[in-house]
Amino acid sequence: MAFYDQGKMKAVTFSFDDGTTQDIRMIELMNKYNLKGTFNLNSGLLGQKGLLIREGKRIAHYKIHPEHVRSLYEGHEVAVHTLTHKNLTQFEDDEMIIQQVETDRLKLSELAGYEVVGMAYPCGGVNNNDHVAQVIKDHTGVKYSRTITTNNCFDLQDNLLRFDPTAFYLDFDKLMQLGQQLVEMKADKPQIFYIWGHAFEMDYVPDYWLRLEAFFQLISNRDDIFYGTNKDVLL
């Protein structure tokens, strides 16, 4: 853990899924506050256009083009989200799990210009289990993988291949509460505030970007907190 090696006990990291064009604005905002994050991409879907209906609105779900991956995510981390956004728990054949994960990892490594070692499980509901995690551990180059099960906790976790995030970023009240708690904390052991979401969700409601920036202002640029990618914080 890079932050522990630097003598810091508190760390903040972000994780965003799907690699949509809203990542552009997200990265600009993160860079403004010197924050770091990991962006989980489906290499088999890059460049595709789509629309989602959320909160009664049409939300753009356009994927980043592959040729823009290296420059856009510079200073942050690119990670696996499976080749084509499949729920890995639904495969009976382990080879399909391996193909979805390792093929994505290798393609993203080529696009990013470094070896990709992180991952976030795609899809809602039950999207991971011990068997899938073991297959990933034994047959791919992935070193950690995030679930979608928030725990409202900063403590370290033993199972990096089923790592639970602290909070979902659209739960703004909880996010601010946890942020204030971390800022005020006098930590005597390593603590990780791990926040996850999808950047396209910022377009659901007009003030979401403003509320997220308020959280960034609260949590950023503090001397006793380490700001890093998921890889920096977990490995």
Strands 10-17 and 77-80: unpaired
Q: What is the pLDDT of residues 27-53, one digit of tens each?
A: 999 999 999 999 999 999 999 999 999
How distant, in Å, are the alpha carbons of 46, 83, 122, 145 from that of 133?
Answer: 25, 16, 13, 8
Phi, psi of 141 (to 5 degrees): -95, 10
Q: What is the pLDDT of residues 88-147, one digit of tens each?
A: 999 999 999 999 999 999 999 999 999 999 999 999 999 999 999 999 999 999 999 999
**Across the chain, which distance is largest between two alpha carbons, in Å?**
48
Which whole number is the average pLDDT over 1-13? 84
How far is the C-alpha of 23 from the C-alpha of 73, rounded, in Å? 9
DSSP string, 119-161: BB--SSSS---HHHHHHHHHHSS----B-S---S--S--S-GG
Is the separation of the CB atoms in 227 and 8 below 8 Å? Answer: no
Instruction: List, in order, residues 6 or more apart from 20 with CB less than 8 Å away.
Output: 60, 61, 62, 63, 64, 198, 199, 200
Which whole number is the average pLDDT over 70-95? 98
The answer, yes or no, to whether residue 68 has pLDDT greater than 90, is yes
Which whole number is the average pLDDT over 177-189? 97
Q: What is the pLDDT of residues 206-226, one digit of tens each?
A: 899 999 999 999 999 999 999
Architecture of domain 2-234: Alpha-Beta Barrel (3.20)
The answer, yes or no, to whether residue 3 has pLDDT greater than 80, is no
The answer, yes or no, to whether residue 171 has pLDDT greater than 90, is yes
| Domains in the chain: boundaries | 2-234
Instruction: List, in order, residues 6 or more apart from 51 with CB less than 8 Å away.
Output: 58, 59, 60, 61
Crossing angle for the helix pair 208-219 and 172-184, to the nearest 10 degrees: 10
How far is the C-alpha of 104 from the C-alpha of 106, rounded, in Å? 6
The answer, yes or no, to whether residue 11 has pLDDT greater than 80, is yes
pLDDT score recorded for residue 4:
66
Among 128, 130, 80, residue whose Cα is nearest residue 106: 80
Among 217, 229, 212, residue whose Cα is nearest residue 175: 212
How far is the C-alpha of 199 from the C-alpha of 62, rounded, in Å? 11
Which whole number is the average pLDDT over 152-161? 97
